[in-house]
């Protein structure tokens, strides 16, 4: 699959809702009810990060059992991560940054990649490789909405999903920018609600997020 076709898939995923939840899941048994709650609340694209041993099992369960969910994989660092996530059923991949090895692996994979960038030079490098949709990470520590807004004029070809330090209250600052398609956030699936199985609480957080636009 060409990079352009993969970028079109990334775009369609990012346009599903104003927020992509960034999930750290400790127990794969929580994956399906959590994802169903997010979808019910209007948030279908879900990024499950590779930060716990349960992540790949969680991705597989969501991909197989949750109608309407578009499950992706986050914290992708290597070709091995891409292969494992694709095999588990992920529909998109997200990386915190980039390396030549990861970009080469993404070229050879059918799994669409949303690569991370935090500087104008990184954005330009990714643009040369055919990437028009990027993750801006870590969004708040790297300069927040003011830095991202400053890139809109010199880098109009690129659209961002800022992630890192964003909350329900600060998300509108980013979503108002012309070069932002959505934001990523961990506030939709807090650890205490996952641990306690508070699926109605997660659905309520998803509804709040979905209403941002």
Q: Which residues are catalytic?
A: 47, 135
Counting Cβ atoms within 10 Å, is residue 168 exposed (0-12), middle (13-18) or buried (19+)? middle
Q: What is the 3-state secondary structure of the chain?
A: CCHHHHHHHHHHHHCCCCEEEEECCCCHHHHHHHHHHHHHCCCCEEEEECCCCCHHHHHHHHHHHCCCCEEEEECCCCHHHHHHHHHHCCCEEECCCCCHHHHHHHHHCCCCEECEECCHHHHHHHHHCCCCEEEECCHHHHCHHHHHHHHCCCCCCCEEEEECCCCCCCHHHHHCCCCECCEEECCCCCHHHHHHCCHHHHHHHHHHHHCCC
Residue among 205, 165, 163 at smallest CA distance from 184: 163
């Amino acid at each position: 699959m060409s990079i352009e076709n993969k970028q079109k898939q990334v775009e369609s995923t990012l346009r599903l809702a104003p927020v992509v939840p960034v999930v750290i899941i400790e127990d794969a048994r929580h994956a399906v009810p959590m994802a169903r709650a997010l979808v019910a609340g209007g948030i279908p694209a879900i990024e499950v990060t590779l930060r716990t041993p349960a992540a790949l099992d969680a991705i597989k369960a969501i991909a197989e059992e949750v109608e309407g969910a578009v499950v992706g994989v986050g914290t992708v660092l290597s070709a091995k991560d891409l292969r494992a996530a694709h095999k588990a059923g992920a529909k998109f991949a997200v990386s915190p940054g980039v390396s030549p090895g990861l970009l080469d692996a993404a070229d050879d994979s059918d799994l669409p990649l949303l690569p991370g960038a935090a500087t104008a030079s990184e954005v330009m490098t990714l643009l040369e490789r055919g990437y028009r949709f990027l993750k801006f990470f870590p969004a708040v520590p790297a300069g927040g909405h003011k830095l991202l807004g400053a890139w809109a004029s010199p880098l109009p070809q690129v659209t961002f999903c800022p992630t890192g330090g964003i909350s329900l209250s600060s998300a509108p600052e980013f979503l108002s920018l012309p070069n932002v398609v959505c934001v990523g956030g961990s506030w939709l699936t807090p650890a205490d609600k996952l641990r306690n199985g508070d699926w109605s609480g997660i659905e309520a957080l998803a509804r709040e997020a979905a209403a941002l636009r």
